[in-house]
Chains A and B, each alone.
Chain A
């Protein structure tokens, strides 16, 4: 695994094994905030940021837990770290950049229960990446998440004015679009490996 070039890890995480469209991680915010292009972009940015920080923390914690021989604490410590990272980011932004803080609003605290973040921490541990690979993996996953969110939001903004049967409107329509997107992302499967 450690022989894998960094570029490959990035392409793998963002396109080939897109977190939303291939692993189904982070579906809740995906369905929830993908109605408008603006909010989708901001949400993607916030998620990528938290992913990077919590990926670094998870790397350290994994080493620590290995050292003291308590792997069963992995899940609990990861979730605590993610929750506190989100809290820290929130406090930091409030102090340093109130404008950005206001723009992100409710999405910031909601990131704690985004399974893409915890999934990323667990996957990177399973794959045994080193520190640099972890960072690239987090960056790729965040890019993939943002890309999927922006794509869906674009479609949904267009479909707002389309004349579709009432029974199919809303979640059903979004799911069908997501399915078609997922099919088209399968076209990338030859790229990474």
Chain B
């Protein structure tokens, strides 16, 4: 941050940036693992899933933040889940309208965004305590961080498992694809690899 940036502006950029890198929902907080592993077998699926999740996160953060003084404390979790489920249903039908093929390849995992712990944890930990503007920044940062992480996994798995990126072949014909990478086991291994890289970077930083 340069000194010319105002105090408020610095804070809002921080709110945005923390989700992208320092508190990345997948690599650092290890939240919302199920969709991360399940639909990251191609880069395209990963991006679509990330975008759908980010949209639900943004909308539910906004609504929770607006209603934060209206919702009684005792039933807050149930209310959050209802808000999230509504937006997930909207997203589900929207994706079906845009591309039936995409809807098929993502399958039940769009509906399962409802129980993505990332969204509920942002509603509970951030949106229920902060202003609408801040919640939007938080949701955008976390959402983009989630998309970024999904893309990292999806790209690695598609390049190694299929020899292509976004469906376009990038290796010469004699490349033998690593089938294991697009199978479930490959998801676990790729995520372990990325977490290893992040852990390594963190340890290096704390030593320096």
**Bound state CA distance, A167 and B195, in angstroms?**
9
Q: In the complex, which residue of chain B has the Cβ closest to the Cβ of A126?
A: B108
Decide if A122 is an interface residue (CB 8 Å cutoff).
yes
Decide if B72 is an interface residue (CB 8 Å cutoff).
no
Decide if B112 is an interface residue (CB 8 Å cutoff).
yes
Known contacts being A24-B37, A28-B33, is A118 close to B196, with CB within 8 Å?
A: no
**When each residue 158-179 of chain B gets 1 if its CB lies under 8 Å from chain A and 0 otherwise, what string results?**
0000000000000000000000
Check B89–A72 contact: CB distance below 8 A: yes
User: Could you say which of A52-60, A129-137, A139-147, A179-187 contacts chain B?
Assistant: A179-187
Which residues of the other chain, A, contact B30 by a CB distance below 8 angstroms?
31, 171
Decide if A93 is an interface residue (CB 8 Å cutoff).
no
Check B180–A24 contact: CB distance below 8 A: no
Decide if B86 is an interface residue (CB 8 Å cutoff).
yes
Decide if A75 is an interface residue (CB 8 Å cutoff).
yes
- Which listed residue (A167, A179, A186) contacts B188, Cβ 8 A? A179
Min CB gap A70→B, angstroms: 11
Which residues of the other chain, A, contact B111 by a CB distance below 8 angstroms?
75, 118, 122
**When each residue 87-116 of chain B gets 1 if its CB lies under 8 Å from chain A and 0 otherwise, what string results?**
011001100000000000000100110111
**When each residue 18-43 of chain A gets 1 if its CB lies under 8 Å from chain B and 0 otherwise, what string results?**
00011111111001000000000000
**CB<8 Å pairs between A and B, sample of 6:** A113-B117, A113-B120, A168-B196, A176-B188, A182-B185, A183-B185
Interfacial residues, chain B to chain A (CB-CB below 8 A): 30-31, 33-35, 37-38, 78, 81-82, 85-86, 88-89, 92-93, 108, 111-112, 114-117, 120, 180, 183-189, 191-192, 195-196, 199-200, 203
7 more CB-based (< 8 A) A-B contacts, given A23-B184, A24-B37, A118-B114: A27-B33, A115-B115, A115-B116, A171-B195, A182-B188, A183-B180, A186-B183
